[in-house]
Amino acid sequence: MRRDCKRKIVTAKNIGFCSGVDRAINLAEEYAKKFNRVLTLDALLHNEEELKRLEREGVFPVNKVDLLSGDVILLPAHGATKEENDKAKKRFKKVIDTTCPLVLRTVKIIEQLKKEGYKIVIVGDKGHRETKVLSNTAGDSLIGVFKKAEEINGDSFVKVGIVAQSTVFLEDLFEVAKKFIELSKEVRFFNTVCEETLRRQSEAVEIAKNVECMIVIGGKSSANSNRLYELVRRVNKNSFFIQNESNLNTEELKRYCSIGIASGTSTPSWLIKNVIERLQKV
Ligand code: SF4
């Protein structure tokens, strides 16, 4: 039922693309303009709506590089394994690596830890591309990828180095680290969670506490958008996760006089604008 009030929309300041995704999109657009059509290894980013827009600009994702060849291929913002990189170089005239510098930093940390004889623990989602790249870098030195401390069995270790996928919850990272401190003689810990993600999370939670309803806009496959939604839902039960403006339940939203908006790091600003415009008409 509609409430009689002047509806307030509170939009997070930390919203839209993060610097890593922004860089990847700019490179994709630049090369698509030059070559008419470019391929990207996997999805360049995790937002279905933006991927559709990029296809219209001539940017197409492929799952494997072994079967294709051509002028240009872009490696995604979440990184590529050494094997993928080598294959791409063999089959394409130009390989553009859009891997986020923060992911590359974690790769370098792992390489250094390996040189110093540490076994590697990665905190993150097993199936995620970034985690796949980090695991591949760790190679035989990998102890495992853990999302939660409960997944760790009781083996003991001598030298352990801990890093994280850029978008995990800090509390999960700290719990896993605590467990390995108990199990190991020596632990080196690197907080590789991305600052941009953390800023979004804390701002979204603050907004969610102070509005009647909270909306998170993000791709279904976006790990950081899903985590953002999970966080805001803890403090505001009237929270919704949407992919675009057509997912808005306008009848339900008429009940709320204040609505907060946050987005994942791969949600484009044009999509956020569409959602806000639709909300203003509710
Ligand atoms: S979320 Fe952080 S680590 Fe991931 S692409 Fe964006 S800036 Fe890079």
Q: What is the pLDDT of residues 236-259, one digit of tens each?
A: 999 999 999 999 999 999 999 999
* Residue 131 near residue 124, CB atoms below 8 Å: yes
C-alpha–C-alpha distance, residues 247 and 7, integer Å: 19
Mind telling me the catalytic residues?
Answer: 130
- The whole-number pLDDT of residue 62 equals 86
The 10 Å Cβ neighbour count of residue 205 is 18
- The whole-number pLDDT of residue 63 equals 77
Please, what are the domains in the chain? 8-16+195-280 (3.40.1010.20), 19-99 (3.40.50.11270), 102-189 (3.40.1010.20)
* Residue 177 near residue 136, CB atoms below 8 Å: no
C-alpha–C-alpha distance, residues 113 and 74, integer Å: 28
* Residue 207 near residue 14, CB atoms below 8 Å: no
pLDDT digits (tens, 9 = 90+) for 22-75: 999 999 999 999 998 899 998 888 899 999 999 999 999 987 766 677 789 999
184 alpha carbon – ligand 1 mean position (Å): 30
44 alpha carbon – ligand 1 mean position (Å): 12
Q: Report CA torsion sign: 44, 167, 124, 143.
A: positive
Atom of ligand 1 nearest to the CA of 103: 3
- The whole-number pLDDT of residue 65 equals 64
C-alpha–C-alpha distance, residues 54 and 260, integer Å: 28
Rg for the chain, CA atoms, rounded = 21
Report the residue among 14, 15, 17, 18 best suited for mutation to probe ligand 1: largest number of ligand atoms under 8 A from its CB: 18
Q: Which residues line ligand 1 (CB under 6 A)?
A: 18-21, 77, 100, 102-103, 166-167, 194, 196-197, 224, 265
Report the nearest-CA residue for atom 2 of ligand 1: 194
Atom of ligand 1 nearest to the CA of 18: 6
241 alpha carbon – ligand 1 mean position (Å): 20
Report the nearest-CA residue for atom 5 of ligand 1: 20
- H-type helices in the chain, by residue range? 19-35, 48-56, 82-91, 101-115, 129-138, 170-183, 195-210, 223-235, 250-253, 269-280
DSSP bridge pairs for 74: 40, 96
Report the residue among 15, 19, 25 best suited for mutation to probe ligand 1: largest number of ligand atoms under 8 A from its CB: 19
List Cα–Cα distances, 185 to 43, 146, 164, in angstroms. 40, 20, 20
- The whole-number pLDDT of residue 261 equals 98
Please list the pLDDT of the chain residue by residue as tens digits (282 residues): 667 788 899 999 999 999 999 999 999 999 999 998 899 998 888 899 999 999 999 999 987 766 677 789 999 999 999 999 999 999 899 999 999 999 999 999 999 999 999 999 999 999 999 999 999 999 999 999 999 999 999 899 999 999 999 999 999 999 999 999 999 999 999 999 999 999 999 999 999 999 999 999 999 989 899 999 999 999 999 999 999 999 999 999 999 999 999 999 999 999 999 999 999 988
Atom of ligand 1 nearest to the CA of 19: 7
Residue the block writes with tokens 């008419």 = 36
pTM listed for this prediction:
0.89
165 alpha carbon – ligand 1 mean position (Å): 10
- Put the strands of the sheet holding 70-75 in their side by side order: 59-62, 38-41, 70-75, 92-97
266 alpha carbon – ligand 1 mean position (Å): 9
Report the residue among 165, 194, 225, 263 best suited for mutation to probe ligand 1: largest number of ligand atoms under 8 A from its CB: 194
With CA atoms as reference, report the closest residue to 127 among 46, 198, 48, 194: 46
* Residue 139 near residue 111, CB atoms below 8 Å: no
